[in-house]
Amino acid sequence: MASSSRMALRRLPLSARISSPAVLRTAPLKSVSQASVRSYSRLSQASNSGLLSATSRKPQQFIEIASFYNVQTRSYADKIVKVPQMAESISEGTLKQWTKKVGDFVEQDEEIATIETDKIDVAVNAPEAGTIVELFAQEEDTVVVGQDLLKLELGGAPPENAEKEAPAKEEPKAPADSKQEPGSKAAPPKEEREAPKEEKKAPAPPPSAPKKEEPKPAPPKQQSSNQPFGQREERRVKMNRMRLRIAERLKQSQNTAASLTTFNEVDMSALMDMRKNYKDAVLKKTGVKLGFMSAFTHACTLAMKDVPAVNASIEGPNGGDTIVYRDYVDVSVAVATEKGLVTPVVRNAEGLDFIGIERAIAELGQKARDNKLTIEDMAGGTFTISNGGVFGSLMGTPIINLPQTAVLGLHAIKDRPVAIDGKVEIRPMMYLALTYDHRLLDGREAVTFLVKVKEYIEDPRRMLLA
């Protein structure tokens, strides 16, 4: 009876054998090791696909036990890591870099890959600890949210012990060679004996060699005749997603807004004196470096009280037919990075003092340089300040960051002669440029706003009374 039941069970397919009650009556699972079960998992897959014949399969008892154990464990042994959600407006990106490779062990939340989007770089982290088994995409491939990215075999431990044992195995190789020559206790190898002989022969030929090589200046003449204009090389590099997005938005701004720029100059003497007198005390007390951006940001928020249209925007179809006025000011601060210009946002700048603004700008700037900005850091923004003066710009016309209405451009501080109370004096001067959308702002309002900012900067005490 036992042999007939085994024969009947053997005729059944593998899936039927796994669910058969006879499987549960086989030998205990303790007799099957983890390694044998892993090896069987590959065998069972090949058997199901028809790659193995019935005669080449393992003994029936092993198949039944391993199949049952495999069903219990393999369902959660591997995990497919998918492309994570990035933002509502982002559905795809470019797989820029794999920081791990197949066979590497990763800890939970350890970074595995970086996906570049048109706004930010998204880090893909390991959901659990395990070993990378397979990668489903290559670098520079376009990946979509929810797409399979890699397979992770869960569990295990980092191969630290193997790395430590490797040098220990190599050490006993040295005495093994010495046993072959019992007569010599500490005889050096042949390579070490031959090395000094070569060194003695080496100094003999040098005097004759340079005499033959000196009268051969032919190569420079050939280069000058074949390439009379020097080297003319070209490189073509594919634009990254952020640069493509910047180009698209700037061109859209030029095509949509009726841009116009008005200029003014501001005497920075009073603000520079204030910063010089209090920057050390502020740094010691708060740990924040006092700069000029906080003063200009605060001055702009105060000037917007008199000219609220600067903080407004146009919305609606067909170019817009609705003006949106806001009672809050989210200032976008332009920060230059290696990949392009980004504009993280200082939220509710109208409620922050100098220290609060400087702290917020410093944190956003550091995140931008470390490629750690999130979508929330750059979303929104009602007004932009761009400081090209840090790069030495004397004057320029910034482009509006739609759907905003205006952008203020700051420039380099230069000592110039100016008329002060009928006398010519040398003062540190800066040019200001306000580019605005003429569809919403008239020239009078734009100039009024810029003059207000100028007055606040030239006499910072005015900001305490506004």
Summarize pLDDT for 73-131 with one digit per residue, the tens: 444 468 888 888 877 677 888 888 898 888 889 988 888 898 888 777 888 888 888 89
Reported confidence tier of residue 59, pLDDT bands at 50, 70, 90 = very low
Assigned token pair, 415? 């000592």
Q: Is the pLDDT of residue 425 over 90?
A: yes
Q: Is the pLDDT of residue 197 over 50?
A: no
**64 & 131 share domain:** no
Q: Which residue has the tokens 């399969």?
A: 57
Any domain includes 185: no
**105 & 52 share domain:** no
Please, which residues bridge with residue 91 across strands? none
Any domain includes 233: no
Full residue range of the structural domain in which residue 258 is found: 242-465
pLDDT (0 to 100) of residue 90:
79
Nearest of 432, 328, 433 to residue 382 by alpha carbon: 328
Instruction: Give Cα 459 to chain centroid, integer Å.
Output: 41
**72 & 88 share domain:** no
Of the spans 20-34, 192-206, 222-236, 401-415, which averages the highest pLDDT?
401-415
Any domain includes 64: yes
pLDDT (0 to 100) of residue 216:
55
Average pLDDT for residues 451-463, to the nearest whole number? 96
Assigned token pair, 243? 């640069």
**420 & 307 share domain:** yes
Any domain includes 278: yes
Domain boundary residue, one of 129, 154, 179:
154
Any domain includes 176: no
CATH number of residue 255's parent domain: 3.30.559.10
Domain boundary residue, one of 76, 102, 124:
76
Task: Please tell me the total number of residues recorded for the chain in this structure.
Answer: 466
Reported confidence tier of residue 430, pLDDT bands at 50, 70, 90 = very high
**71 & 87 share domain:** no
Q: Catalytic residue positions?
A: 438, 442
**145 & 283 share domain:** no
b/e string for 114-143 if b means 16 or more Cβ within 10 A? bbbbbbbbbbbebbebbbbeebebeeeeeb
**429 & 295 share domain:** yes
**69 & 126 share domain:** no
- Helices 354-369 and 293-306, packing angle to 10 deg: 120
**142 & 288 share domain:** no
**409 & 260 share domain:** yes
Decide: helix, strand or coil at residue 199. helix
pTM: 0.60
Any domain includes 226: no
In this predicted model, what pLDDT tens digit does every residue of 251-284 receive, in sequence order? 989 999 999 999 999 999 999 999 999 999 999 9
Query: Average pLDDT of the chain?
Result: 77
Cβ contacts of 456 within 8 Å, gap of 6 or more = 295, 298, 299, 302, 303, 462, 463, 466
**304 & 415 share domain:** yes
What is the DSSP track for 6-21? Answer: HHHHHHS-HHHHHHSH
Domain boundary residue, one of 128, 154, 180:
154
**451 & 381 share domain:** yes
Nearest of 383, 121, 426 to residue 269 by alpha carbon: 426
CATH number of residue 101's parent domain: 2.40.50.100
DSSP-assigned letter for residue 229: T
Number of structural domains in the chain: 3
Any domain includes 207: no
Going 128 to 129 to 130 to 132, the CA torsion angle's sign is: positive
Any domain includes 210: no
